[in-house]
Amino acid sequence: MYYDQYPYQNTYCDYFREQKNVSYMRLLHASPDAPHIDAYLNDKLIASNLAFKGFTQYLPVTAGTYNIKIFPTGKRDNPVINTRLNIKARSSFTVAVGGKLSNINLYIIPEVPPKAIPGKVFIRFAHLSPDTPNVDITLPDGTRLFKNVEFKEYTKYIAVDEGTYTLQARPSGSNKPLLHVPNIRLKPNRYYTIYAVGFTGGNPPLQALIALDGISYLKL
């Protein structure tokens, strides 16, 4: 399990906070059989030698349409991904590089906060394990938090109490866990995404990444 815990102040200058159309994006390497990657946005390097399960910090970007290219680290020809990325104003999102290397793709996971409830934690689930069936995310007693989530799908945020949780991923409708994730500490007034990555039937194995989302602290 991996905790993505960035500080509660953005590392970029206040200039970006004051601009009306600035958004924030981060990159996640979620392709289990892909090598380390470099990423370019309009031919500007934004991620270098990013390993599987690695996140970048949030990058401030203005609204618009961009070209994004993904290369194996150190390469500059024959990108494994070469596509357009449309960025809306005043948004925060994760760009996941996911799927098997033979079918690698980008998956955009926007952060759209529900109405705040003081003292509550908001969590959601994103399924990025290419060989794992549809899953339910449950508590150990079988209480379902998210139901029948398929590969490439992400859920809406739900509100839960702060505390330490154990979560399980089970094939939809089954009582047998594929993944057991203990000791997840969730703090109040924050937003988290729980990512399933890796392979159920191979290496690297199925595992969870618990990521603190930018809407917890970024000013949009």
* pLDDT tens sequence across 34-56: 999 999 999 999 999 999 999 99
| pLDDT value at residue 138 | 99
| pLDDT value at residue 21 | 79
| pLDDT value at residue 12 | 44
Verdict on whether the full-model pTM lies above 0.75: yes
Q: Which residues of the chain have pLDDT under 70?
A: 1-20
Helices (H), 107-150: none
Q: Where are the beta strands (DSSP E) in the chain?
A: 2-4, 22-30, 37-41, 44-50, 59-62, 64-72, 81-87, 92-98, 105-110, 121-127, 135-138, 144-149, 158-160, 163-171, 179-186, 191-197, 207-212
| pLDDT value at residue 219 | 86
Cis omega before residue 204 (within 30°)? yes
Joined together, the tokens standing for residue 6 give 């960035």
| pLDDT value at residue 52 | 99
Cα–Cα distances (Å) from 45 to 31, 49, 170, in that order, read 19, 11, 38
| pLDDT value at residue 125 | 99
